[in-house]
Amino acid sequence: MSLFKLSPLEITLKKGKEKIAGITAYDYNMARLAESAGLDFILIGDSASMVVLGHPDTYPITLEEMLIFCQAVSRGAPNTLRIGDMPFLSYQVSIESALLNAGRFIKEGRCHAVKVEGGIEVVEIVSALVKAGIPVLAHIGVTPQRSLDIGGLKARGKDLETAKELLDSALALESAGAFAIVLECVPAEISRLITQRLKIPTIGIGAGPYTDGQILVFHDVVGLFPEMRPKFVKNYIDGFKIFEEALKTYQKEVKEGLFPEEKHSFKVDPQILEALSR
């Protein structure tokens, strides 16, 4: 019996049969929601750096912090494929440290796979991880861990040079053994072309409708991060407003003495009160 509903291999085999729907999650309750909603996989993304820890980008989050989030998600979604996002410099330094750090996502974080950002430059690392038995989700296009040198988070693949680079990277990562590949902010027609050329599934975010699957950040799906609303996300509810309304009502009811009511309070035998007042 498999430990989880879908293994990385089963994700690969969905290509051409059924669209793949993934979401990020970072804590126990989000993971429970993702699992009960039936998502195909959960990515514990380094987007936690922004949406959970409040940093401006993904650079500051540490491996230790990521592992805590992975553990919480593992407890909340024990039956869902869980992929740990390797943070900046946890896989780029050497093959040996990449293997050991990826191993921590498996051994301590209880993840079933890891994700690494990058194209040709990470092929050797991906290959080593796969050879060690660690399934890898690749990630090309906009790669936030390269925003210092490739300049911001602009869509890639709009010109012939970067489009060709994306296709070459995707093919090389497939050959290295990645079980699927994230395409982030890639023009829809370039995603379509890459999707057609690959045997492994493409998972898009801001990459149009032709990829084999989609992934979104949890907070974006439920509208909990209103300060950042890129055009490719869809807020299915305005979570921030809904939560804020609830908090405001709570605050108001406390001030006005409307909460708590009798039904929220505990009672004591009147005889005890009497004895106390004697």
Residue ranges for the known binding site for 3-methyl-2-oxobutanoate are 46-47, 85, 115
Helix (H, G, I), strand (E, B) or coil at 21: strand
Count Cβ atoms below 10 Å from residue 93 Cβ, excluding itself: 11
With CB under 6 A as the contact rule, the residue among 134, 170, 182, 186 that binds ligand KIV is: 182
CB of 155 to ligand KIV, least distance (A): 14
With CB under 6 A as the contact rule, the residue among 215, 221, 222, 224 that binds ligand KIV is: 215
Q: Strands of the chain (E only): list them.
A: 20-24, 41-44, 81-85, 113-117, 136-141, 180-184, 202-205, 213-216
Candidate list 121, 184, 244, 274, residue with the active-site label: 184
Give the pair of three-digit tokens for residue 40.
């195909």
Do residues 180 and 8 make contact, with C-beta atoms less than 8 angstroms apart? Answer: yes
- The listed partner (Na ion, ligand KIV, none) that binds 212, CB under 5 to 8 Å by sort, is none
Asked whether position 217 contacts ligand KIV by CB under 6 A, the answer is: yes
Task: State which amino acid sits at residue 10.
Answer: E
From 30, 22, 26, 17, select the one nearest 5 (Cα to Cα): 22
Asked whether position 220 contacts Na ion by CB under 5 A, the answer is: no
Asked whether position 27 contacts ligand KIV by CB under 6 A, the answer is: no
- The listed partner (ligand KIV, Na ion, none) that binds 182, CB under 5 to 8 Å by sort, is ligand KIV
- 184: DSSP letter: E
Count Cβ atoms below 10 Å from residue 165 Cβ, excluding itself: 16
Q: Which residues are annotated as a binding site for Mg(2+)?
A: 46, 85, 117
Active site residue 184: yes
Interface positions, 104-133, toward ligand KIV (CB under 6 A): none
Give dist(CA 68, CA 255) in Å, integer: 37
Asked whether position 47 contacts ligand KIV by CB under 6 A, the answer is: yes
Count Cβ atoms below 10 Å from residue 60 Cβ, excluding itself: 15
Asked whether position 90 contacts ligand KIV by CB under 6 A, the answer is: no
Based on the number of CB atoms within 10 Å of its own CB, is 111 exposed (0-12), middle (13-18) or buried (19 or more)? buried
With CB under 6 A as the contact rule, the residue among 27, 35, 85, 212 that binds ligand KIV is: 85
CB of 58 to ligand KIV, least distance (A): 7
Which residues contribute to the site for ligand KIV (CB under 6 A)? 24, 43, 45-47, 85, 182, 184, 205, 215, 217
Binding site for Na ion (CB under 5 A): 45-46, 85
> Mind telling me the catalytic residues?
184
